[in-house]
Structure 1
Amino acid sequence: MLKKFLSFIFILTFLTACNEDEIQSKSVEWEKYVNSKFGFSVNYPPDWNIGEESDNEDGINLYIGNPDVQILAFASYYMEEISNPYGNAENDGFDIQRITLDNGKSADLIVGKLDQMVNYELVFISNDIIYNVKAEVSKSFFDKNEDTLLKVVKSLDAL
């Protein structure tokens, strides 16, 4: 009888500890990168090591330390005749999906595979500025982090 009781207490303690870990991981606040030159922000997980802002202040590398992962948040002045991400995506056979950002605005998500890497790019154009959150990652990284990447891209907010 004592063994059953102790086993029950052990299982109850284990389940309680798991729930506390789950609650703590859900309550962890994400970091926010704010770009003052183009007036946008994007959220990212606190365990990502980010780089320094680029010299021309157009954006930042949101994930450094892994050669199979490049995740950038950046903006530039949009000139359709010079930089058209949609033409490149169509030429490479990528899918273009319309999504709703966390701020309620619509943007395009371009997804495809090229040279063993998954390309995952959010494109939002407003007031002659093109805002991007672009990931070029290994298939294994993408498979493990697809939900996180979607959460990052959907957090883009043009201030």
Structure 2
Amino acid sequence: METTSPPPAPARNRSGLIIGIIIALLGCMCLLALLIAGAVTLLRSDSISLSKWQSYTNQKIGFSVSYPSDWVYEENENGVTLASSQAVLDEGPDSGGAGLAVMYFPSQYLPSTPVEFINYLAGSGEWGNTQITGPINELKVNDYPAASAELTSFDEMEGLTYHMQVTVILVPEAYYVLVGVSLQDEWSTHEATLRRIAKSLKISQP
């Protein structure tokens, strides 16, 4: 059963590479100061015990999500970044660990459908060599139209390959975007937890 104890105090440092990945993947879009890329499909994963999980709620943006109690988070004006450690939150998952971001953006200047949005993310070319590695799946999340896909991105400067899952949810006049990321070599370690976090998303629009 999910606990509802207060989450730990938000981390004060910048979100580091996770936010950098998110911003860069979307590239330049008019009139948006921050955009997001990355990933989580909402597939069923019942193997994770929720006995030591707790809830995060963002009333301003209108969503809640559950996460492991030993994870940390940092809020920003568009949502929240959750991470498996403070080091991941500060510097990204270059040395191990995983992160997941939940973001909210007005849809006026974004692609008109979730599938088009994911194709844009993969084709932006703003952060390494990013490719969709499987089909783009159309689905419903909280009864809203959505799409999800898995991506890989190779950072030539660091020589690292990241695995990401992106879920894009279209609500009236806005998008929610979920991004889960880890090193490609560690994806199997973190996949079930990232899927469970994404599956717990509840939307209540501001």
Q: Give the TM-score normalised by structure 2.
A: 0.55
Q: Taking CA–CA contacts closer than 8 Å with sequence separation of 6 or more, which of the two structures ends up with the larger relative contact order?
A: 2
What is the aligned length? 131
Q: Is the 8 A contact 1:49 1:65 kept in 2?
A: no
- Bigger mean CA offset, 86-95 vs 119-128: 86-95
Matched, 1:148 2:187: no
Report the equivalent of 2:56. Answer: 33
CA RMSD of aligned residues (A): 2.6
Q: Distance in 1 between matches of 2:119 and 2:140?
A: 22
Deviations 1:103-129, CA, capped at 9 Å, x for gaps: 465532221111100121111111111
Report the equivalent of 1:87. Answer: 119
Q: 2:172 aligns with which of 121, 127, 131?
A: 127
Q: 1:97 aligns with which of 137, 142, 157?
A: 137
Residues 150, 98 of structure 1: alpha-carbon distance in 2 compared, 3 angstrom cutoff = farther
Unaligned 5+ residue runs, structure 2?
Answer: 1-47, 124-129, 155-160
For 1:77, give the aligned amino acid. Answer: P
Matched, 1:59 2:79: yes
Q: Is the 8 A contact 1:59 1:73 kept in 2?
A: yes
Deviations 1:5-35, CA, capped at 9 Å, x for gaps: xxxxxxxxxxxxxxxxxxxx83514222212
Matched, 1:49 2:78: no
Residues 149, 106 of structure 1: alpha-carbon distance in 2 compared, 3 angstrom cutoff = farther
Residues 93, 70 of structure 1: alpha-carbon distance in 2 compared, 3 angstrom cutoff = same
Deviations 1:60-80, CA, capped at 9 Å, x for gaps: 110142231442111111125
Q: Is the 8 A contact 2:118 2:168 kept in 1?
A: no
Report the equivalent of 1:109. Answer: 148
Unaligned 5+ residue runs, structure 1?
Answer: 1-24
Q: For residue 86 of structure 1, report the CA deviation from its aligned partner.
A: 2.1
Residues 149, 93 of structure 1: alpha-carbon distance in 2 compared, 3 angstrom cutoff = same
For 2:68, give the aligned amino acid. Answer: P
Q: Give the TM-score normalised by structure 1.
A: 0.69
Q: Distance in 1 between matches of 2:109 and 2:201?
A: 21
Residues 100, 156 of structure 1: alpha-carbon distance in 2 compared, 3 angstrom cutoff = same
